[in-house]
């Protein structure tokens, strides 16, 4: 298999960092010190062409409009379908013009299936990052900063929706279109929301576990991180922001990146 079809990984060093924030949402508190062992993270979200290799090799269903997720109400169904249309794979084939864009319309289960396949391809136990690993990676070694690049919002640093009225004219961008953070990771804020491994717990940060925390053992919601191209509330682009959704959720703005330990 061609090397460019498999993700490139960056080594994230072990270390302590400050997770959460004292001035954010209630579920981002208390700010606390966490130690995370070293791991490797894909340099960017999994792309359409990378996901296509998995679909062709395994026969896994291609990204499509299936039963609508719980987050899409009847009132918003038409808009959801309209915005999703450019990302639907026709006849099982991906949209060619988006080959190097992040793959979207991905459920948590889809992301997990890709991880299992990629594990066999590279000989490592590939998985989704925990919330702690994701936030450690997003911060890029910068302590107590709002965004992966610093404290000020910067439209040249990520793909998000500056003007809500332009929503239907925007979309994902090729990975690597914006500068990487100090760990060499792209799209840690904007482009696509990213699945993480944890169940959502509103009080998860009160857990005494401070070494490789893994979140609740079960829950009702899963967690997305990082914001996306449709994010106009820049608060959602913050490294500390936690976005909870039902497990069946998928959208034109949701993708994922992968990690492995060591």
The residue assigned the tokens 């992301």 is: 111
Residue 16 β-bridge partners: 35
pLDDT per residue as tens digits for the range 2-34: 656 899 999 999 999 999 999 999 999 999 999
Secondary structure string (H, E, C) spanning the chain:
CCHHHCCCEEEECCEEEEECCCCCCHHHCCCEEEEECCEEEECCCCEHHHHHHHHHHHCCCCCCCCCCCCCCCHHHHHHHHHHHHHHCCECCECCHHHCCCECCCCCHHHHHHHHHHHHHHHCCCCECCCHHHHHHHHHCCCCCCCECCECCCCCCCCCCCCCHHHHHHCCCCCCCCCCCCCCCCCCCCCCCEEEEEEECCCCHHHCCCCECCCCCCCCCCEEEECCCCCCCCHHHHCCCCCEEECCCCCCCCEECCCEEEC
Strands 39-42 and 193-199: unpaired
Is the confidence at residue 207, as pLDDT, over 90?
no
pLDDT per residue as tens digits for the range 32-47: 999 999 999 999 999 9
- Please, which pLDDT band fits residue 163 given cuts at 50, 70 and 90? confident
140/65 Cα distance (integer angstroms):
35
Task: Report pTM.
Answer: 0.96
What is the per-residue pLDDT for 53? 97
Domains for the chain: give ranges and CATH numbers.
Answer: 3-261 (3.90.1580.10)
Q: Give me 189's structure tokens.
A: 């804020």
Q: Which percentage of the chain shows pLDDT scores above 70?
A: 98
- Please, which pLDDT band fits residue 169 given cuts at 50, 70 and 90? confident
pLDDT per residue as tens digits for the range 73-114: 999 999 999 999 999 999 999 999 999 999 999 999 999 999
Q: What is the mean pLDDT of residues 237-251?
A: 97
pLDDT per residue as tens digits for the range 113-132: 999 999 999 999 999 999 99
* Cβ neighbours of residue 126 closer than 8 Å, sequence gap 6 or more: 115, 116, 118, 119, 258, 259, 260
Q: What's the chain's average pLDDT? A: 95
């Amino acid at each position: 298999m061609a090397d460019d079809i498999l993700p490139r990984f960056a080594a994230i060093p072990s270390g302590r960092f400050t997770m959460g924030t004292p001035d954010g949402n209630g579920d981002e508190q208390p700010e606390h010190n966490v130690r995370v062992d070293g791991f490797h993270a894909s340099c960017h979200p999994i792309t359409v062409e990378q996901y296509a290799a998995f679909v062709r090799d395994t026969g896994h269903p291609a990204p499509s409009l299936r039963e609508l997720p719980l987050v899409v109400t009847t009132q918003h169904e038409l808009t959801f379908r309209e915005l999703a249309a450019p990302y639907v794979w026709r006849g099982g084939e991906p949209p060619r013009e988006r080959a190097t864009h992040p793959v979207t319309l991905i459920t948590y289960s889809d992301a997990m299936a890709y991880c299992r396949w990629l594990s066999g391809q590279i000989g490592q136990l590939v998985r989704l990052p925990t919330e702690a690993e994701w936030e450690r990676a997003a911060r890029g070694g910068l302590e107590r900063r709002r965004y992966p690049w610093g404290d000020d919002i910067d439209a040249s640093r990520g793909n998000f929706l500056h003007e809500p009225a332009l929503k239907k004219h925007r979309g994902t961008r090729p990975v690597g279109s914006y500068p990487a953070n100090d760990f060499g990771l792209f799209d840690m804020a904007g482009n696509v929301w990213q699945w993480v491994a944890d169940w959502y717990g509103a009080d998860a940060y009160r857990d005494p576990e401070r070494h490789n925390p893994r979140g609740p053992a079960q829950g009702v919601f899963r967690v997305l991180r990082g914001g996306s191209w449709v994010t106009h509330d820049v608060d959602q682009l913050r490294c500390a922001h936690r976005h909870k959704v039902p497990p069946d959720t998928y959208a034109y703005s949701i993708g994922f990146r992968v990690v492995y330990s060591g």
